[in-house]
Structures are given as structure tokens and as C-alpha cells.
Amino acid sequence: MNLYVYGLNHRSAPLVVREQAMIAHEHLAPALQSILNEDGILEAVILSTCNRCEFYAIADNGRRLEQWMAKQHHKGDGSYQQYTYLYSGEEAVAHLLRVAIGLDAQVMGEPQILGQVKAAFATALDVGAAGPELNHLFQQIFNSAKSIRNDTGLGAHAISASYLTWLMIQRCIPVDKSASVVLVGAGEMIANLIPYLQQAPQLDITLINRTPENAEALLPTAKVLTMSFLLESLIDCDVAVFATESYHPLLTRDAVQTILTQRSKPLYCLDLALPRNVEANVTECAHVSLFNLDDIQLWVDENQDKRQQAATRAEEAIKEHSRRYQKQLQTIEFDELIKSYRRKINSVRELELNKALQKLQEGVEPAVVLQQFSHALANKVMHHPSQALNQARFEKSKDWLASAKLLLGLE
């Protein structure tokens, strides 16, 4: 059994593919149970965000994860496989560390990703999908991620997707003048964006959410509306930011065309959701601009060089932490091997000893019993090593023969 990582992310797959692969939070538990029903998969964690869908598993073969994805998630359509990656062992540990510290994030060093990894692991624990090996791994990852971010300065130069969204809003409208912004949703992305918007008190902010109480808790001073008022609110706004978990588009091309008949200025839409909240073809309408998650990749801030230097230091730390973790695993494996071997030999010894004691009770001469006991014990201890040596005679190298001699105490 080994650790495997299988999946796709914003680097390997375009938005439309990530959208198809995404597993919503409410579907994570049944998906984990389904994965564990696959032969050869003992433990699993699913990390599904707007920028990645990854499967971490203890399995006998990483292709088990690929097979599950093909059968359950894509109904046999293998066209997405060109966008996926598969890592194992130390390489898999290094990848998980890159993800956890934000080095593999769309915005390098973004701190929110560590919380997403912790939430994914907690879900796996709750449904019993994360066992002792993944539990040990993720606890090590959380500790290592914190120290790497602190030691390398990666966290000090990090910027968030919310901050980049704020920069995009500033480029869309002159925030030093009166303008109207509509925020659709009340999740983490909107919550993280609001503090930036509050830096421009002249902005008129409207929050739209299915549950108004959740929106009011984010910004009590804002106008709060239900989803039924969405189209009406877009008639006068300058920028609309969408970040809900809806599986269906909230804003269609036909709806935009209707809105435009009542507008006299450009409409800027920022779609930060996955699946997307805004139909891509709204840009066919005049005076409408649409930005999505992939557009964030095009934005670079003045701290890029500093973050890159921190990233270089982080890569070195990742290699060291990954090697250290693999050594820990090897130590645990060898300890378990030694314990298992001792248990096996003791089991053989107890079996033969009980036979000998039985013969003594039956009146067999002690000398005869001892002779039989010693021969039986020796034969059973030597049986499996001798059998393995015979089978390996024409298959193994001289190095293997030297190792066998060392293990058997013949050198």
C-alpha cells in the first residue's frame, strides 16, 4: 500500500474542465464512501475547491482513483484524463505540502487553502474515510505547513483571491467616486472581499443571498435582498460579483439583454464561482464585461518578486519535510515488520512448546520430547526463508543474495 494523489487543478485544466470535475461539499461524504468501495483503496480524502479536485488515498495502485473517477464522476468519458496528474510516495507528500502552504494556489501563498485542506480532512474523518495512515500524514502536513510559511516568509508576501478581486473592481470602476457594487452570495469569498470594499466608503454595496440573515451578518450596513431581486438590482449597479454554490447559472444572456434595455452604462460581472454563476456568452451583449477565475491568473502585483524568492525557499523546505516524512514511514514500517516477525516466531514456539508439554504429560521420555521439539521448531523457523531463497535462485540479483545473507546472519 502506498500514498497516491490523483486529480487536476488550475494549472493542468481549464475552467470548463474543473467545473465538470468539482464535487460539491454536500456530495463529499457519499463520494468518499464510493471510493472506499473500490478494491485496493483503504483510505481517502477529497479536496474539491474552485481551483482543484484532488483525491488523496492509501491504495495498492493509483490507477484505482482514475478508474473511480471515470466510472462515477465522468460516466466513462476519459477525455479529461489529459488534464490530470498522478503522484505517489514522496512526490505525493511534496505535492500535498505545496497545496497546503499555498505554493500550488492560483494566487501564490494564499492562506485560505490551508483551511480548505483541513476542512477536507475533517470531512474524511467524520465519515471514516481517513484512517491511521492519512491521519498521521495530514497532521504532519499541518505542522510542516505552518513552519514552512513562517520560516520562508511565504505568508508575509501572500495575497488572496479576494484582494485580487478588489484590484479588478478598482480597474472596472473609479472607486474614488460614487459607484454601486452588488455582491451575490454570502460565503467565504464574499466575506473576505467585504473588508477591502469598506476601504471605499463611497461605494454603495448591495448583498444578495438566498438566506438574507447570512448576508446581514457579513455587513449590517449594506442593503440586503433575496435572490428574487437579483435582476432588478443589476439595472443600476456598476459591478456585480458572483460567488454562490448554485449548480445553475444565475445570470443568463437573455436576462442580460433584458437588463441592458434599462441601462445606460457598462456592466462588469466578476464570476468567482464554480460551477459558474454567469453564462459565458453574456459577453456577446454590448457593454458587458465578464471576468472569471481563470482571469485572476493574469493579474500580478508588485510583491511578485518577493513571493518568488519565498517560493524558492519553500521548495527546498518541502523537499526536506517530504524526505523526513518518508523516513518516518520507513521507520514505522520496519518497526511493524520486526514486531510482526517476532509475533510469528513466538506463535510457532508456543505451538511446538504446547505439543512438547502434551507429550511429556503422556509419558514420553524428556530427551525424546526435547529432540522432537528442537527439530520441529528449527524446521518451521527455516521453512519460509528457505522457500523464498529457492524461488529467488534464478530471479534475484547478487545484491539481493548479499542482503539475504546479512538478514540470515551468515556474514
Which listed residue (50, 53, 237, 269) is catalytic? Answer: 50
Total structural domains within the chain: 2
pLDDT score for 71: 81
pLDDT score for 249: 94
Same domain, 13 and 127: yes
pLDDT score for 243: 94
| Burial class for 75, CB neighbours closer than 10 Å (0-12, 13-18, 19+) | exposed
pLDDT score for 402: 75
What would the DSSP string read from start to end of 294-342?
HHHTT---TTHHHHHHHHHHHHHHHHHHHHHHHHHHHHHHHHHHHHHHH
CB 137 within 8 A of CB 3: yes
Distance, in Å, from the CA atom of 239 to the CA atom of 65, rounded to the nearest integer, reads 41
Distance, in Å, from the CA atom of 270 to the CA atom of 291, rounded to the nearest integer, reads 5
Same domain, 209 and 282: yes
Cα–Cα distances (Å) from 198 to 167, 169, 268, in that order, read 13, 13, 19
**Which residues of the chain, if any, have pLDDT below 50?**
76, 301-303
Same domain, 27 and 142: yes
Q: Chain centroid to CA 78: how far? A: 21
Same domain, 256 and 186: yes
What would the DSSP string read from start to end of 161-194?
HHHHHHHHHHHHS-TTS-EEEEEE--SHHHHHHH
The owner of cell 464535487 is 23
50 is catalytic: yes
Asked if the structure places residue 349 within a domain, the reply is no
The owner of cell 456598476 is 238
- State the pTM of this model: 0.66
Same domain, 176 and 243: yes
Same domain, 171 and 44: no
Asked if the structure places residue 387 within a domain, the reply is no
Asked if the structure places residue 243 within a domain, the reply is yes
2: three-class secondary structure by DSSP:
strand
Asked if the structure places residue 399 within a domain, the reply is no
pLDDT score for 73: 59
Classify residue 277 by its DSSP letter: S
pLDDT score for 239: 96
Same domain, 87 and 232: no
pLDDT score for 384: 81
Beta bridge partners of 377: none
> Which residues constitute the domain of residue 72?
2-158+307-329
**CATH code for the domain in which residue 257 is found:** 3.40.50.720
Same domain, 176 and 114: no
Same domain, 24 and 74: yes
